[in-house]
Structure 1
Amino acid sequence: MVLCYSEARVFQGVVRCLSVCAGFRSLVLAVAALVGGGACGSVWASPAGVDSVPGPASNAAIQFDLEVLRHRGIDPKVAEFFSRKPRFAQGVRRVTLLVNGASRGAVDASFDTEGRLCFTRGLLEQGNLKVPQEQGLSKAVGAGHCYDFVRAFPQTEVQLLPGRQEVALVVSAEALRPLSEDRGVFQRGGNAALLNYDLLGMQSQSTRMTRRYTSANTELGFNAGDWLVRSRQLLTEQNGVRNFQSLYTYAQKTFVGHKSMVQVGEINIGNSVFPGAAITGVQVMPDSALQGQSRGGATVEGIAQSQARVEIRQAGALIHTTLVPAGPFRLPNIQLLNANTDLDVKVIEASGEQRNFTVAAASLAQFSYSAPGYSLAAGKVRTFRARSMQSPAVLTGTGGWLFNAQNKVSAGLMLSQSQYRAGAFTLDSSVTPNTSVNLRGTLASAGEEGVKGAEASINLNTRLTERLSAGVNTTQRTEGFRDLLDTTQRQGGGGYISGLSREQYGASLSWSDPLLGAFGASYSTSTSFEGRGRQYLSGYWGKTFKYFSINANIERIMNSGGSSSSFRRFNASGNAAYLSVSVPLGNNRSMSTYASKRNGLTRFGSSFSDSSSDFASYQLAAESNSEDHQRDFSGSLNLLPRYARLNLGYSKYGTDYTSYRGQLSGGVVMHEDGVTLSPYPLRDTFAVAKVGDVSGVRLSTPSGPVWTDLWGRAVVSQLSAYQASRVEIATKTLPRNVDIQNGFKAVTAGRGSVNKVDFPVITTRRVLLRTRDVQGQILAKGAGVFNAEDQFVTSVVGGGKIFLTNDQLSERLTVRLGDGNHCLLNYRLPDKADPNVYFESADATCNLF
């Protein structure tokens, strides 16, 4: 039985493939172009090599029938190279890496003159393997440093499978690098300054008035020596009224040995059982990345009747603002100041109409906000509201303990200068694999007011069946309860804080069925001590069919107990419904038709969206309403011009109302090698990638696609701290005359570090020689080509063609002819290669010697 493998390398349709054949024990690259095209000829191995496949450690040579090789026109010396075991030819080969049976993706692997695998750092990183000590490395030709991995971990088995372009490794558990436990292998240090920006401008005008709104959300900072400094500011201007907020300015560093981080400056109390008040001070808390946990953000959902601006506030601070299109919206990963204060959400329609609703704090506790360990914070309270009375000093501490993998308890104390005293606890428990419970209780005493009270909350989420999930939550407060922020507010009549909720309830339900689709509903209600009530109900249904999908959303906001005109205006009740039918058109294009209804007004519309390009996406929409039958038009264009993100929009409502908007966002990094722009905001841990001096190369990063600038650099704006982050080159975007040793990097970075991700490139010259002998006859297929050291280089394929690259072009090359003679290749090439072609062609003459 004979195995065949065709290693194809396209030469623009000229050279189809290099055929290689082997017996069961593998003459894998031995027989080049036995028959030409992609066919394989038969090569007979000794009987011992037919029925068994010895392991890779075996070096027993295979005996080939040399007369058969000569008859086929193959130099027996070629077979000698492949007679011992499966092997790749010398150089760099793109192969699939398997570790203990699991695929680790494609990697450029290097092989020496004997076909042995070179364990480079890149290969070890992609395989999630430990790097041996430095004294174990040796130099390999063209491959950088090779680590003696097999000597460091003797149980390692290496299996080379050139017939499938695979390298399979079987290693012991000691050789693997578990990211969740081993934090010793990560990159540290680096210096850089940064600027993140998000600029928004809107203007709406009608025959009666003109409204303008602008905002500039900026973040300045730098990283140095694993310290990071950040300062975030928000400047807004609406109809000439300007407002400025400094949200924070702080310095931070993680001490890996203690698995803890230190923050100093304007910070928010974190990892605490108490609401995370904003303070100016210092805190020490566990680094969740080193605890194997992550902290996510909240999700806010609603329905917009038009292209609207959404503002989300917590504790009086504007923490998030964005634009949303008409219809249901979902804003995930909202970064909170704390987990225990309600979110106030304001939806501002294009017409100026405003709606408010509240996301209860209890519904935010879908995950734990405190990691095991101890936290301590001290400082002076920072307030954002104009009606704040004071900014007392505060001291708080929290401890968290894991009883087992399913139960964690946290408890803490808080003291403030305003005679505020409080104690609290939380319990996070996985009652069953499908049910989780979060309990929270707080006792507090506000000495200056002379009141005491308690607060308790519970959040239960469960998966009832494979398709049905449910959740309930509630928060109860007594009249005398205060949290720290409440003590800074003006007191209302009756001994309570104006607007403070007495009770909150929430419930959610979701169900999916292959036939009926997905259903979901959520309900929340809250009542203040003043008797004001607010209820919010939402539901959805969705179903995907073969050629289209249907989605329906409903929303009901109910407010009661308010008598003032301002309360009625900004807290208006209302019902809304939204139904849409979407038809995918292929290549990330789609068309949808929708109908919406709010407070008796019905709107109908259609839209078309196209996001088939990395550079640009756009949406067009037309709409009419049932009241005056006026037609509305809108359009938006999202651009990613490589180094920033730009969003442009235009809307026309009826005959006399028009609005425009523009939004520009991105980041700037100033590092030791220059200035590099990013289309995404820079996070606490990032990298600068370099692909030689080649511009316009696309890289896939955790944040999204980026492109190298004129100097070959691009910013990887976000890396996971102490975990591997993938950065990969889209090799199709490389110039044709550029090769890269490894287009994949797995970067494990320490928090606050500035990393360099270097992709060395090689300007490659590839030449296809059309060879003849001195009599003008085409050289025979299968003849071996050897260098001055008598090492096998390649073979002559059909039509006397020989393919050579790089250093091979400067070597003295000889061809072993079938009659036992040798000839020397002679050819001439231009001084410079053409960068726009994959390979050059030239004529060559082979002179006997």
Structure 2
Amino acid sequence: MMPALQCRQLKRLGQLMLLVASLLLSAKVAADENEKKQSRAAQILRARGIDPDILSSLNQANALPAGENLLDISVNGELKSSQRVMTGRQGQICFTPDLIDQLGLKQPAQLADPGCIDLSQQPGFNLKADPQKLALSIVVPQQALADEPQYSGEMGGHGALLNYNYYSGVSRVRGRQSRYSYLMLEDGINMANWMLRGRQQLNEDRGKVNINRGTLYAERPVPGWRKRIQFGQIGVSNTLFSLGEIDGIQVIPDRGLEKDSSESGSIEGIAGTSQARVEVRQYGALVFSTLVPAGPFHLNGIPLHNLNGDLDVTVLETDGHQQRFTVPASAMRVNPSGNRGLSIAAGRLNQAGESGSGVPALLTLNQNWQVRRLSLQSGLLLTKMYQSLGASLAGPVLQGAQLAAQIVAANDRQQHTSSMQLSLSGSYSLTSSLSFNASVSKNTPGFVSLATASARLAERYENDNLQYRLSAGWNSPSAGYFSYSYSASSRFGDNGISRYDMLSWSLPFRKAMLSVNVSRNRGNSSNRQLSVNFSLPLGGQNFSSYYRRSGSGGQLGAQIDGALGKNGTYYLSSGRDMQARMQSVQGSVSANLHYTRMALAASMNSEQAGNVSLSGSGGMALVGSHLLFSPQPVGQTFGMIELSERLAGVAVRTPGGTSWTDWRGLALAADIPAWHPAMFDLDTESLPKNSDVGNGHHRLAMARGSVKRIRYNILTSRRVLLTLRLPDGRPVPRGGLVRDDRQNIITTVLDDGTIYLENSPVKGTLEIAINGENRRCRVDYQLNDEGENDAPYQQVSGVCLLLPGGGEPTGAAVRAG
């Protein structure tokens, strides 16, 4: 039994050994066959001028080449920035803690190497590289994203600013010459988020100079309360009452921490002459001034003290005529600001020409609520002899319909009268092409604002009785766009009614446009305006012919306007007065000079009457020891853009407009929104050809009143085109792999022994595998330290010395020619 059992075991062991030997033999045969296939493939590649070693570098799972790569990085589908990252030989991507913060990710808890973090090893992280697009997509769990606070903003910084807006014009009419000029200034200082601001205005009219010192106030945000505190000469905002400026203090909600809904207005009208000046006043103070061309105009974003004071609009024509009309406050309350929270203001009413005990001390409180889709506001105004209560309600009432209502009750103890004001406004979009707007404000006899009640004028109670405004708009693909607006106002003690209405129609067909605008002003000053315009684009220019009528005179003419380069525009017009039989010509040139805006305009008629004017605007700021300039006015929050290299003319797109660097590589980011993420993008097309940027996209959130330095790391790329020959005079064969001194594959040899290097050091060593000869050669080169910025590359030619058996070659280094 035992010998038989042993025999069977030996037999099974022999069968197992035979099976193992058979498997090993099959593997050996397969390996030999694979080696033969690879050898044949290598021979084919060599015959076609391609080094077979390239296959091993392209056969990796992560196809990003080892070394430094500039990648567009996105997180959960949102593009974050373009960054230079290091990639290891095994394809791992190195992330630094600063880069993780910029991507909006939480820092990993446990780090083996804090200086180089491999996010692919983090739980739930998925990284996918696209070598063709040089992009990296990172998908992370929601809990890996960095928490965003309820409000965020970088605090600190200091700087000074000066904004300016000027106009100077000389007119000559009937042999008489007159000059009108104005200069509007705003200066200020930012320090530790405290903001000090002052406004002044200088006017010169026919040799008489008038200086208006305007306002002077200080402000600081209080983010813990979500408020702003202001004191000095300030305009009371976020209130239900018709108040101008006070000398005092106020605490108001910070709009930057809520939905942005700044208090602003809009006006429309028709100018009869070119370079007409439009002035807008509220509570008697000039809040906006600009120049407009002849024809209809529509101006948005008029800065206001609040939504409770009418806008007095004056259009001053260059021929001396004036138009005046009023935009009622009720027309601006259709969508009032809904800044939730409590507002408090206290001080003395700032009335021109009055001071001391005659100026009332006041206290006003206003509370805002947001109840579902409705905005509610209540207010209280207290002085010794005048008290007032107010309430308002605004919001959608039907689909496509908005309604706002406001009531204010006043008690004037000095005159022993109680009165009331009721305001209603609404808008309704019946269809996508038909809309209506309406507003009405009705006062009871004796109702006056605090400013009027405190005045010492006998006629102070000739106050407004009724104001209303109606408008409608209809858009038809075949008939064009129609709009009509009508406003009227009346006063107690005056039987007259002031009216202003305007009718507009425009019809586009193909690329041309026909428009007709008619306006009529009746009341204290009566005037009629008619404008008919036909425009047709011609290439990059716009040609138009027009007919304008103002009063009893009419003018027929043509004009052309267009762009002058990337940052300029021009306007040229010629017309004939049909009644006076007088020919006239007007022209203007305006330009954004990167650091300021300027415009030059002139007009002349056949009677030698004319006008010449120069206007401009911009801002400047002192950040540290650097004085910076901008074509845009400097806002409450601003910063300095700084390049690591002294490059001029580099464009950076900022929230306040495009800024350009000066000869120091510095630029002014003039206006940055507070509390909200702001994007800054460097235009790489404006960089010299030999320069690049490490990260051209910055995303910042700044607190109100902060001053920030924004730095861009400029990379000077030394692009090199080498032409190499072997010692026997032959060009280095095409297809050979090129390695640097760290044995990283960086490129391959092109035709005629040429090698292109994208970002080369000043001194370098290259080792080249000679394709088809199983030999290597090496070349040492040195470039010129200072190359032409706009040259696409430096050219280098030389001899690649052979490496026999891995030894060191002999010979001189190659230098750029």
Question: TM range, normalised to the smaller chain?
Answer: 0.7 to 0.9
Contact 2:45–2:52 under 8 Å retained in 1:
no
**In the TM superposition, what is the alpha-carbon distance from 1:339 to its structure 2 partner?**
0.8
Give the match for residue 328 of structure 1: 296
One-letter amino acid of the structure 2 residue matched with residue 701 of structure 1? T
Contact 2:216–2:234 under 8 Å retained in 1:
yes
Contact 1:815–1:824 under 8 Å retained in 2:
yes
One-letter amino acid of the structure 1 residue matched with residue 488 of structure 2? T
What SS is found at the alignment partner of 1:610?
strand
Distance 1:266 1:813 in 2: 71
**In the TM superposition, what is the alpha-carbon distance from 1:100 to its structure 2 partner?**
3.7
1:234 aligns with 2:209: no
Give the match for residue 432 of structure 2: 466
Give the match for residue 408 of structure 1: 375
Distance 1:91 1:447 in 2: 82
One-letter amino acid of the structure 1 residue matched with residue 518 of structure 2? I
Give the match for residue 546 of structure 1: 510
State how many pairs are aligned. 759
Distance 2:263 2:663 in 1: 36
Identity %, equivalent residues = 28
One-letter amino acid of the structure 2 residue matched with residue 627 of structure 1? Q
Q: Give the one of 772, 775, 778 matched to 2:731.
A: 778
**In the TM superposition, what is the alpha-carbon distance from 1:79 to its structure 2 partner?**
3.1
1:157 aligns with 2:126: yes
1:449 aligns with 2:412: no
Contact 2:763–2:781 under 8 Å retained in 1:
no
One-letter amino acid of the structure 1 residue matched with residue 593 of structure 2? P
Give the match for residue 78 of structure 1: 54
**CA distance change for structure 1 residues 739 and 508 in 2, over 3 Å: closer, same or farther?**
same
**In the TM superposition, what is the alpha-carbon distance from 1:380 to its structure 2 partner?**
0.9
One-letter amino acid of the structure 2 residue matched with residue 832 of structure 1? E
**CA distance change for structure 1 residues 513 and 389 in 2, over 3 Å: closer, same or farther?**
farther
Give the match for residue 340 of structure 2: 372
**CA distance change for structure 1 residues 514 and 172 in 2, over 3 Å: closer, same or farther?**
farther
Contact 1:824–1:846 under 8 Å retained in 2:
yes
Contact 1:137–1:148 under 8 Å retained in 2:
no
Q: Give the one of 683, 695, 712 matched to 2:648.
A: 695
CA offsets 1:283-340 (integer angstroms, 9 cap, x no match)? 1111011012331421111100002111111111111122111111122111011211
One-letter amino acid of the structure 1 residue matched with residue 505 of structure 2? W
Give the match for residue 814 of structure 1: 767
Give the match for residue 769 of structure 1: 722
Distance 1:825 1:625 in 2: 80
1:596 aligns with 2:596: no
Give the match for residue 835 of structure 1: 789
**CA distance change for structure 1 residues 574 and 769 in 2, over 3 Å: closer, same or farther?**
same
Give the match for residue 635 of structure 1: 587
CA offsets 1:627-654 (integer angstroms, 9 cap, x no match)? 0120111111112222111111111134
Give the match for residue 189 of structure 2: 222
One-letter amino acid of the structure 2 residue matched with residue 614 of structure 1? K
- Which structure has the larger Rg over C-alpha atoms? 2
Distance 1:782 1:747 in 2: 46
Distance 1:497 1:260 in 2: 37
**In the TM superposition, what is the alpha-carbon distance from 1:597 to its structure 2 partner?**
1.6
Give the match for residue 297 of structure 1: 264
**In the TM superposition, what is the alpha-carbon distance from 1:721 to its structure 2 partner?**
1.0
Q: Give the one of 685, 702, 707 matched to 1:754.
A: 707
What SS is found at the alignment partner of 1:611?
strand
Q: Give the one of 675, 683, 687 matched to 2:627.
A: 675
**In the TM superposition, what is the alpha-carbon distance from 1:272 to its structure 2 partner?**
1.7
Distance 1:583 1:146 in 2: 61
Distance 2:796 2:113 in 1: 34
**CA distance change for structure 1 residues 408 and 116 in 2, over 3 Å: closer, same or farther?**
farther
Q: Give the one of 194, 197, 216 matched to 2:161.
A: 194
CA offsets 1:448-474 (integer angstroms, 9 cap, x no match)? 121111111111112211222211111
**In the TM superposition, what is the alpha-carbon distance from 1:352 to its structure 2 partner?**
0.6
CA offsets 1:59-81 (integer angstroms, 9 cap, x no match)? xxxxx957525531344443333
Give the alignment's Cα RMSD to 1 decimal.
2.8
CA offsets 1:420-444 (integer angstroms, 9 cap, x no match)? 1111111121224522211111111
**CA distance change for structure 1 residues 438 and 165 in 2, over 3 Å: closer, same or farther?**
same
One-letter amino acid of the structure 2 residue matched with residue 739 of structure 1? D
Give the match for residue 3 of structure 2: none
1:665 aligns with 2:631: no
Contact 2:367–2:379 under 8 Å retained in 1:
yes
Contact 1:309–1:321 under 8 Å retained in 2:
yes
Distance 1:432 1:792 in 2: 68
Q: Give the one of 648, 655, 660 matched to 1:707.
A: 660
1:508 aligns with 2:471: yes
One-letter amino acid of the structure 2 residue matched with residue 706 of structure 1? S
One-letter amino acid of the structure 2 residue matched with residue 409 of structure 1? L
Q: Give the one of 237, 245, 263 matched to 2:212.
A: 245
User: Pairwise mapping of residues 123-142 of structure 1 onto structure 2 (< 5 A)?
Assistant: 129-133=103-107
Q: Which runs of 5+ in 2 are unaligned?
A: 1-36, 804-817
TM-score (normalised: structure 1): 0.84
What SS is found at the alignment partner of 1:487?
helix
CA offsets 1:347-381 (integer angstroms, 9 cap, x no match)? 11111111100001011124323400111111111
Distance 2:353 2:53 in 1: 86
Distance 2:673 2:629 in 1: 20
One-letter amino acid of the structure 1 residue matched with residue 795 of structure 2? S
**CA distance change for structure 1 residues 743 and 83 in 2, over 3 Å: closer, same or farther?**
same
Distance 1:416 1:170 in 2: 61
Give the match for residue 358 of structure 1: 326
Distance 2:147 2:457 in 1: 54
**In the TM superposition, what is the alpha-carbon distance from 1:96 to its structure 2 partner?**
4.8
**CA distance change for structure 1 residues 387 and 226 in 2, over 3 Å: closer, same or farther?**
closer
**CA distance change for structure 1 residues 381 and 284 in 2, over 3 Å: closer, same or farther?**
same
CA offsets 1:670-729 (integer angstroms, 9 cap, x no match)? 121321112221110111111231112222233333321121111111111112222222
Distance 2:106 2:181 in 1: 56
Contact 2:100–2:107 under 8 Å retained in 1:
no
**In the TM superposition, what is the alpha-carbon distance from 1:816 to its structure 2 partner?**
2.3
**CA distance change for structure 1 residues 296 and 269 in 2, over 3 Å: closer, same or farther?**
closer
Distance 2:97 2:456 in 1: 62
One-letter amino acid of the structure 2 residue matched with residue 68 of structure 1? A
Give the match for residue 263 of structure 1: 230
Give the match for residue 814 of structure 2: none
Give the match for residue 13 of structure 1: none
Contact 1:197–1:217 under 8 Å retained in 2:
yes
CA offsets 1:358-413 (integer angstroms, 9 cap, x no match)? 00101112432340011111111112478999421110111111111x11211111
**In the TM superposition, what is the alpha-carbon distance from 1:123 to its structure 2 partner?**
7.1
Contact 1:388–1:490 under 8 Å retained in 2:
no
One-letter amino acid of the structure 2 residue matched with residue 221 of structure 1? G
**CA distance change for structure 1 residues 71 and 497 in 2, over 3 Å: closer, same or farther?**
farther
One-letter amino acid of the structure 1 residue matched with residue 692 of structure 2? D
**CA distance change for structure 1 residues 541 and 389 in 2, over 3 Å: closer, same or farther?**
farther
What SS is found at the alignment partner of 2:755?
strand
**CA distance change for structure 1 residues 212 and 428 in 2, over 3 Å: closer, same or farther?**
same
What SS is found at the alignment partner of 1:815?
strand
Distance 1:146 1:469 in 2: 60
What SS is found at the alignment partner of 1:80?
helix
What SS is found at the alignment partner of 1:464?
strand
Q: Which runs of 5+ in 1 are unaligned?
A: 1-63, 560-570
1:169 aligns with 2:116: no
What SS is found at the alignment partner of 2:224?
helix
Q: Give the one of 68, 72, 75 matched to 2:41.
A: 68
Q: Give the one of 293, 296, 308 matched to 1:340.
A: 308
Give the match for residue 393 of structure 2: 427
CA offsets 1:806-830 (integer angstroms, 9 cap, x no match)? 4555333211233432221244544
**In the TM superposition, what is the alpha-carbon distance from 1:759 to its structure 2 partner?**
1.2
What SS is found at the alignment partner of 1:399?
strand
Distance 2:348 2:781 in 1: 80
**CA distance change for structure 1 residues 305 and 387 in 2, over 3 Å: closer, same or farther?**
farther
